[in-house]
Amino acid sequence: MRIILTILSLLIFFSGSAYSQQEDYQLGLSQNYRGQNQGAYYDYSDPDGLNIKVSVWGYVKYPGRYVIPQRTDIKDFISYAGGISDDSYLDELRVYKLLEDSTQQMLKFDYEDLWWNEDLSQNLTLYKMEAGDVLIVPGRPRLYWENYLTLGLSIVGVLLSLTTLIVTTNN
């Protein structure tokens, strides 16, 4: 009886481990796979379509290298990158592209109306990203009143510490 239970438990163990190993394998791109972070490399590729590799640098939430569907416009690409930060300048977006003759071209875009205004002042045509494009979202860190307060309190704290040190050493 003990031998039968041992054989039965071994069969259950090996069949369960074989089943769990099969779950680790998958053919093609998972439909649930979206934006896995691997060192600033993000894959939003379409498993059934043509995909391109592009980059985004600057004031977006997730700058880096992306694999995106070929039909992606600049607005969708910024959305893939986690959106813009408060510090970004949307009136100065730039796309650097490498032309077929190995020269570079810079395209400038103003998408300030698209993100912040309720009425579009002009009819915007959204640029479609192409293979090898690099999108630059410029900006500059902005300081808010909390930042100035923190800086001021730090300076006052250092000055009080120095004053205490000088008074203590003189006595």
Per-residue pLDDT, 82: 92
Phi, psi of 106 (to 5 degrees): -115, 125
Q: Identify the pLDDT of residue 19.
A: 40
Per-residue pLDDT of the chain (171 residues; tens, 9 = 90+): 667 656 655 555 445 444 433 332 223 354 445 545 556 888 888 888 888 889 999 999 999 999 888 888 988 999 999 988 888 888 889 999 888 888 889 988 888 766 666 665 555 677 888 888 999 999 888 777 888 888 889 999 999 999 999 999 987
Model pLDDT, residue 131 = 87
pTM over 0.75: no
**What DSSP assignment string belongs to 119-145?**
S-SS-PPPPBP-TT-EEEE-B-PPP-H
Predicted pLDDT of residue 24: 28
Fold adopted by 41-145: Outer membrane lipoprotein wza fold like (3.10.560)
pLDDT of residue 89: 86
- pLDDT at residue 115 in the model: 66
The pLDDT score that the predictor gives to residue 101 is: 86
Check if the beta carbon of residue 96 is closer than 8 Å to that of residue 136: yes
